[in-house]
Structures are given as structure tokens and as C-alpha cells.
Structure 1
Amino acid sequence: MENRTPDLGELVGGGGVATPGRQLPAHADLNLLRTFLAVYRAGSLTAAAPQLGLSQPTVTAQIRTLEQQTGRELFTRLPRGVEPTPPAHELAGQVAAPLDALASLEGGGPQSGQGTPVHLAGPSELLCVRVLPALAPLVAGGLQLRVTQGLTEPLLEEMRAGRHDLVIATRRPRGRALESVPLADEEYVLVASPAWARRVGEYPAADGGLCAALRDVPLVTYAEDLPIARRYWRNVFGKQLTARAAVTVPNLYAVLSAVNAGAGYSVLPHSLCQEYLESGRLTRLHSPEEPPLNTLFLVRRPGSDANPDVPRVGDRLRAAARSW
């Protein structure tokens, strides 16, 4: 049997690649289409360049050439990254499978959809406690996952630059460039060690109750401006928190460890300290009728679903989040 690389016309069925208003010939330069698909999947000219082994200006020039050939704008330029236009979505749907098949025949490459890692990012503690356990069955089944930990704003900026396929964010992203759906509501709880809880419980209610009792208890938090604790005081007690932090450490696991060891009290995500509460190592100091909640969002980079594992991961996370 003859072993040769098929041209694009053979891979798509002999008719070339159609885009609205213009026909792309079957003998068109495959390099332009490879570059297009890399940019489509990366969400950024800059991010696609190293995958292709090209400079960013070369990638830009090739996309412009392809846009001239198709007669349609394929990407909307954003401050960070690009957003595929409807013609780009249609073109990607037509050329992705043929180019992936060609890359497979040639021994793999950036366009190979099968085995392409999913780049996922989110808060460190949530990834460890909820996300990675939920995705373990997919990983066992062959999913490749690349995980980045960080704060929401920097992660969303990196996503706009094409670095991440999915981000679990603690707020909905601004603008329309990034697609997002609510994922879960995270409850925050006011906790301390049992020893501190007993001392707080002995404080006379007539002298101000819990808020007054906590004035003499060290506050442990992950930031100097006390964002979680201040929000808890405002939403639950209807007053401003005037305490200063005794310990600040930019890691909620470290905050949990310090509080568990008896350093003081804190306000923490329920998912993080649930095991400690159930085992009695920590005590919930207050159980409001309406606990403060923070909505988590699953954010997807446009064009990332060209990798079929990206929607699989998104579906799995949405299903798992129903029990979070």
C-alpha cells in the first residue's frame, strides 16, 4: 500500500474548505490552516507562536493572509488575546479533524486533538479539596491535565492571553470575551479551636455577646485587609469589623493550620474546614440563618472546546459541583 500524506482536499472530501462567501481551494497552503487552528485553540497569537515554532509577527501575517483568502475576519483582536468570529468557528469545525488526522499521520504535533492537555486554573485550596478529586476518574481514563493555582484576577488575565482553557473564578469576569457559568456557592464559616470556643462561650451575652468576646481572641487571616472576615461581619452581624489581624499568611491551608493549632479564630470556606468540624478539631462559633455565600464561576476560553477534553472536564465539574 502506498504510504503518502494526503492533501487537504482528500482529507475534507475533495471539495476544499468552505467559508461564508468565499471558497478556500483544496490546494491552499496547509501552513495557514495549521496556524489558524493553533490560534483558534490557544485564544492568542502570542500563545500560538511557540506551539508552531514561529514568531508572533509571522503568525499575525499568516492569519491576515488567510483572512484575505477567505474574505472574512476570523478573529476579533482584544487587549489580551483574540476572540474567534462566527466564520472562524465554522472554519475550525471543518478543518480541525482533517488537520488532526494529518498531524497523526505525520507523527503528531501541536494540532493533534487526542491527548492534548486541558489547562485548568483556580484557587489552590478549592483545587485540592474539590476539583482534583472530582476529575480523578477522567485522569484515570487517560485525561491529561495541567493545573495552575492562583488568584482570580491574574488567572483571568492569563486566560485572555491563551494560557488556560478553564478557570474556576471567585467572581464573574467582566466583559463578554470570556464565557462563564455559575458553578457552586461556597459557604463561609466562623471557626476556632474547641478551647477558644469554650472561652468565647463563657462571655456574658449582656456584655455584647460573640462580637465582644472575640475582641480578646487573635484573628488569623490570609490578607491584611481581612476581606473574608470583613464581609462576614457586614453580612451576618451588620457591623464593621474593627479587629486587626494577629497573623496574616497568604494561604488558606496555613490559616486553617494555625487556627487548628489554637492560634485564634478565622472565617474560612466550609469545604476547607469541613473535615475538621466533623472530627471536632474545630468548632463553628456561629450558625447564622443566612450564612454568607460566595458564588464560584466556571470560565471557559473561547475556542478551547476544539479540544474535546475541555467540555468533558467542564461537564464533570458541573456535575460534581451539585454536591459541593
Structure 2
Amino acid sequence: MDLALLRTFVTVHRAGSFTRAAALLGLSQPAVTSQIRTLERQLGRPLFLRQARGVTPTSIGEELAHKAAPHLDALVEIAEAGLDDEAFRTLHLAGPPEFTAERALPALTRLTRDPGHDFAVRAAFGTTEEVLEGLSAGHHDLAITTARPRGALFSVAPLCDEEHVLAAAPHWADAIGPVQAGPRGVTALAGVPLVEVHESLPFVSRYWASVFECRPTVSGAVIAPDLRAVLACAAAGAGLAVLPRYLCASAVARGDVVALHEPAVPPLRTYFLVVRTGTLALPHVARAHEWLLRASADWS
């Protein structure tokens, strides 16, 4: 059986789509279709069921993927191990702008300073949907997301939890006074402008639901699609904001903003570290993946 056909088959199985697999393999979609048909003729059984959106494996396809994928991944690892140790690789990382800039990139920078870990880093920012699309298309090696992706194409590891803080400039804190949990807390915040990253108020809505047991009833006064800009606007007095603790901790310590409430159980958001299944066989991807997981133990 041709190993190239098996590689194409495993890629389609993981991608769930001939088109997506073609992008990962650097082939045309008709070439991928032709290879799968060739393999199906050799086996005398269909491997995929064609659907309106992508493909799903048959029982024979699942069995073949279960048997073949680990061996193909091992071959990739063997091939990579045989490369010159001095080869300089480029790691392509994608994730949300604030977390990637404040957490992931500084950690990887420390790794790249180690003489034993020679690779360059290229970063891209985007939403979870955008970075997963780029990862599935082969544009990125590692992705940081705020939602756990599903499907055989991706391998996922929880990275860390992000604690959220309700914060505002000191004059707002003085005007509002103590904020209680539950519906009474919302009453104390009535009339205070909101600063957010999107019109849908994703951070405020999550905090309101978790702490105040309701939904926000006003729109944002300032919308800026970067949490660092949201923090700057809140510190300037534009209104209250819900911010990751790691991002606003220094501003709170300086007194630029004040934490308005400290709930017993603060709202959290989980980050995930995602790779395409099989790519941890690549040494530079595996090293960066392990390093970020190790570094995240100190993130809070």
C-alpha cells in the first residue's frame, strides 16, 4: 500500500474535509479526491461518506485510521530526528492579541534565548475562529484559543484559567461604594458607563451572569477591540470594565483602577493550547508546546 495514499487518507480523516486536507498537504482538491478513490479501489471498500459539508469516515475508515495514524506520525518523527540539529526552524503561533502578547510571546522569547532551542517565532493575532481556521489550513503551528475545538484534526491541552475582575477608575469606585453579589450589585452600578471589546459585551455579560445573576441592560459607552485599550480607557475614567486579573494587576497595584468587587468564586475563562494532530512529532513544535505548558503553571 502506497504510504503517500495513507498519508492523504489520515489527513482527510483528521481534517474532515477533502478541501481542508488539500490545503494541509499542498495538493489540489481533485488530487486528494483521486488519491482517496485510488485507496478505496485498492481496499475494495469505501473509506468516507461524502456529505454536504466535508466527509465522515466509514467503519472501515475509522479502523484504518486507528491502525495507520500512529505509525505515520512515528515516521514523521523519525524523519525529523534525522535532520541537522543546527537547522533553524520557524514556529508560527496564533492567539488572542492580549494573552499572546502578555503571556505566550514573552515565555517563548525566553525559550529562544536558550542556545539549545534555536527557532524563530512568528505571531499572528485573531479570534478563536480565525486562529483555528489558520491552524487547520497549515498557516500556524500552535494556536491559543478560548474554546476547546472538537474533531480529530486537533490535539488540545488546557493551558490556564484567566480570572476576571470588575474594575474602574478610583472616582467611580468612590461614587459607587461597596458592590454586593446578586441583583443588588447591579443596582449600585446603574448609570455607570461600560467599556468593552465588542458590542455584544462578552466580558461584562459573563461577569453579570456569574456574579449578579442577570444580563447587562445597557450598551457599551466605549468599544475597543483590545483589552489593553479597554484598561487604558477604564483608567482614564471612561467607565467600568471587566478585565483579566493578569492584565490589570499592575494598574490595580498603582491605583490607576480599583477592583470594585471580589466575588467568592470569580468568573473564569479557560485557555487551550491547540496543535494539528501529529505535528507534535516536529521537534520545534513539541518544544514550544511543552515550554508553554510548563510556563503556564506560574500564570494566574
The TM-score range, normalised by the shorter chain, is 0.7 to 0.9
Per-residue displacement from partner, 1:24-75 (whole Å, max 9, x unpaired)? 7xxx9xxx59x86xx79x975433455xxx6554566567768989999999
- The TM-score normalised by the length of structure 1 is 0.72
Superposition deviation, residue 165 in structure 1:
2.3
Q: Distance in 2 between matches of 1:281 and 1:258?
A: 11
Tell me the residue number matched to 2:97: 124
Partner residue, 1:89: 70
SS in 1 for 2:162: strand
Question: SS of the residue aligned with 2:190?
Answer: helix
Q: Unmatched 5+ residue regions in structure 1?
A: 1-21, 106-111
What corresponds to 2:194 in structure 1?
219
For residues 88-167 of structure 1, the aligned pairs below 5 Å read 88-94=69-75, 97-98=78-79, 114-140=87-113, 141-167=117-143
Letter in 2 for 1:309: H
Aligned to 1:314: 289
Instruction: Give the aligned partner of residue 163 of structure 2.
Output: 187
Identity of aligned residues (%): 41
2:268 corresponds to 1:287: no
Cα distance in 2, alignment partners of residues 76 and 93 from structure 1: 28
Deviation of 1:266 after TM superposition, in Å, equals 0.7
Q: Distance in 2 between matches of 1:308 and 1:74?
A: 31
Tell me by how many angstroms 1:155 deviates: 1.7
Q: How many residues are aligned here? A: 281
Unaligned residue ranges in structure 2 (runs of 5+): 58-64
**1:75 touches 1:85 (CA, 8 Å); kept in 2?**
no
Asked whether the 8 Å contact 2:178–2:261 carries over to 1, the reply is: no
The answer to whether the Cα contact below 8 Å between 2:162 and 2:245 also exists between their aligned partners in 1 is yes
**In structure 1, C-alpha distance between the alignment counterparts of 2:230 and 2:97, rounded to whole Å:** 13
Q: CA RMSD in A?
A: 3.9
SS of residue in 2 equivalent to 1:117: strand
Q: Kindly indicate whether the alpha-carbon contact (under 8 Å) linking 2:94 and 2:123 is maintained by their aligned counterparts in 1.
A: yes
| Letter paired with 2:110 | P
Q: Could you tell me which residue of structure 2 aligns to residue 175 of structure 1? A: 151
User: 3-state DSSP class of the match of 2:261?
Assistant: coil
3-state SS, counterpart of residue 93 of structure 1: helix
The one of 300, 309, 322 aligned to 2:275 = 300
Q: Return the alpha-carbon distance in structure 1 between the equivalents of residues 43 and 256 of structure 2.
A: 65
1:285–1:85 Cα change, 3 Å: same
- Which of 46, 55, 59 aligns to 2:22? It is 46
Q: State the distance in 1 between where 2:24 and 2:103 align.
A: 31
Q: Which amino acid aligns with 2:289?
A: G
Counterpart secondary structure, 1:162 = coil
**Rg larger in 1 or in 2?**
1
Alignment counterpart, residue 244 of structure 1, candidates 204, 219, 241: 219
